[in-house]
Amino acid sequence: MRGRGWLLGGIALGVAVGVGEVPFLAGAGRSLAETMERLVNSGGNRIIHAAATHGASQRVVEGFTALFAVLLPGVTALLLVVAARATLRLRAVVGLLLVAAAATGYAYHGRGVASGSLLLALAVAGAAVALSGPLMVAPLGALAGLIATGTLPHLATAPGSSEPTTTVSSLHDALTGAPGAPTWLRALVVVIAAVPFAAGAFLALRR
């Protein structure tokens, strides 16, 4: 399987885990997304209190904190895809540099020693190219898919079927001055949160 195939396969595995198709890891994506959300909101609460002591508007700070919490999971997934694609590019560069460095050994060592070094470099470079897919690219893609599956459905959950997420409620409070999680705001939050995920999916599909 080529490197891009490992990336897409990893993303598919992450989505499967997130929707509960892998029994032992069911719910992992949502737990990860909730953890990220709580970390951001916890930090945001500290910023709000610190900013309030200096006269800043609490609602403005709260709104920016909530917006950051909405975008953070998608940006994280996007960066994971970028890292995976960078790994695919760097593996060839590293392999060529390794072989080139070993080949220069002919200028400093005897033919037998240099040939042994070159064979070792070729083996290591070949292993790096072959194994970078399943060992590095696929896990990065899987984590990106896991974050996406755990984040977007959680934000889109109808208010009547579960408690409003902290992020949506905080954003509503910042905009209106009252707590709540109306359907229109949930839809808007899902659209905003989906933008970096969509960019990551486009990047993963791009050759």
pLDDT of residue 105: 73
CB atoms within 10 A of CB 31: 12
How far, in whole angstroms, is CA 140 from its chain's centroid? 7
pLDDT reported for residue 107: 73
pLDDT for position 37: 61
C-alpha distances in angstroms, 136 versus 43, 115, 121? 31, 30, 20
Q: Taking the model in full, what pTM does it have?
A: 0.73
For residue 157, count other CB atoms closer than 10 A to its CB. 16
Question: Which pLDDT score is estimated for 196?
Answer: 92
The region, left, alpha or beta by phi > 0 then psi within -120 to 50, assigned to residue 78 is alpha
The answer to whether the CB of 33 falls within 8 A of the CB of 148 is no
What is the residue-level pLDDT of the chain in tens, covering all 207 positions? Answer: 566 788 888 889 888 877 766 655 655 656 666 666 667 667 766 776 676 666 667 777 777 777 887 888 888 889 889 988 888 777 777 777 777 877 787 776 677 767 777 787 788 777 777 777 777 888 888 888 888 887 787 776 654 444 456 677 778 777 777 777 777 888 888 889 899 999 999 988 887
Kindly write down the DSSP assignment for every residue of the chain, as one continuous string.
--HHHHHHHHHHHHHHHHTT-SGGGTTHHHHHHHHHHHHHHHHHHHHHHHHHHTT--HHHHHHHHHHHHHHHHHHHHHHHHHHHHHHHHHHHHHHHHHHHHHHGGGGTS-HHHHHHHHHHHHHHHHHHHHHHIIIIIHHHHHHHHHHHHHHHHHHH--TTTSPPPHHHHHHHHHHHSS----HHHHHHHHHHHHHHHHHHHHHHH--
CA nearest neighbour of 17 among 154, 135, 148: 148
The answer to whether residues 8 and 144 touch, using CB atoms and an 8 Å cutoff, is no
| pLDDT confidence of residue 62 | 74
Instruction: Tell me how far apart the alpha carbons of residues 36 and 193 are, in angstroms, rounded to a whole number.
Output: 13
